[in-house]
Chains A and B, each alone.
Chain A
Amino acid sequence: MILAALVMVVQVAAQDPRLERLDPGTRSAVSAVVDSARGDGLPVEPLIQRALEGATKGAPGARIVAAVRRLTVDLGAARLALGTNASAAELEAGVAALRAGATPEILAHLRDLRRPPLTMALSVLADLVASGVPADSAAAAVLALAPHARDADLVEFRRAVERDIALGAPPGAATSIRVNAGAENVFSGTGTNPGTVPRPRRP
């Protein structure tokens, strides 16, 4: 009895203090998921942030716990695809890409094509899908640009596609046209010069 109480006290003490914004039941469930993820070697900061997002947005506890559990599973899937050396940022971007519809094979292929970090390439893939580009088109575009494009080139590519879509171009066509133009720029070394990007920049 005393031992159990002592274990509980230690557990509470080990909890991230930021989780005190959750109600006790939700906090306990989220902490258990976080501890389990930590034990599996997964990054826990994304899990805590997801829980805090739910708390700030006033989501019910059950929904917060479900979101954190789902993210844990997806982080594991991303690590399986990207490898154990993948950083926390890469895993988080990998989750976004997987949720956007990229397959684990695409993530693994990207890992083989591009020197790390893969965070931007994975994010651009997910963001393109969010803009309406079909997942297979987005994946094909990113895989085509990945070997040579810098992160800034990928961001510029995404913005160009988004502009074309906003002007009325079909998302798939905008992507394929821009990927060809982007590839020419990248391969001829006329991509965006990071030195010309004003700071601070916009998202």
Chain B
Amino acid sequence: MFERADDVVERVIQHLRRPVAIDPGLDARVLREIAQAPPTNRRGWPLWSALAAAAVLGAILIARPWSRDETNRSDLLQFVFVAPRAASVSLVGDFNDWDPARSPMQTAQGVWATAVRLAPGRYRYAFLVNGVDWRADPGAPSARDDEFGTPSSVVTVGGRGS
């Protein structure tokens, strides 16, 4: 047989509300113990504290976490292309000098993928399938200004809150 949870909680509350008797001499004993405790050596503390604070302040000033340099940050982007019958797929774009050898993609059952770290900016890119077939990324905005007769896509890495 079980008590209802509300009843148990109520009984616990009532128990906790009962006043606890404290020895009237407790305060005096505690203060006496504190007075008898051996003094610690704090002579060097002000100097060390000041030096530590200065070091922390200096590190913060050098790192300047509140003004992160946007040009130094980068995002890791994953590029995925589905081509079940392809023998090879390479990611080529503004971030790897349009060199097919630089970012070969790995496949798992026809899903080709690779990850590239990119600094903030706007990049054009495309997938090169089997070394001859240029494909745009169907999951990304297309580059309208294609001047070379093959499709390209665009990825933008932003600077704030992206």
Chain A residues close to B by CB (< 8 Å) = 18, 46, 49, 52-57, 59, 63-64, 66-67, 70, 87-89, 92-93, 96, 99-100, 116-117, 119-120, 122-124, 126-127, 129-131, 150-155, 158, 162, 194, 199-203
Contacts and interface: CB of A to CB of B under 8 A. Distances in A.
A155 B162 contact: yes
Contact of A130 (B134, B144, B158): B144
A120 B94 contact: no
Interface of B: 70-71, 75-80, 92, 94, 97-100, 115, 120-122, 124, 134, 137, 139-145, 147-150, 152-162
Contacts of B120: 89, 117, 119
A158 B159 CA distance: 17
A63 B21 CA distance: 95
A93 B156 contact: yes
A49 B98 contact: yes
Given A18-B97, A57-B149, A67-B147, A202 B78 contact: yes
Contacts of B157: 119
B145 A99 contact: yes
Contacts, number: 133
B76 A200 contact: yes
Contacts of A67: 147-148
Contact residues of B: prevailing secondary structure: loop
A130 B94 contact: no
12 contacts: A49-B124, A53-B152, A63-B148, A92-B121, A96-B144, A117-B158, A119-B121, A119-B157, A127-B156, A130-B142, A151-B162, A201-B77
A52 B97 contact: yes
Nearest to A150: B161
Given A93-B121, A202-B80, 10 more contacts: A49-B124, A53-B94, A53-B152, A54-B148, A56-B98, A89-B120, A119-B120, A130-B141, A153-B161, A158-B141
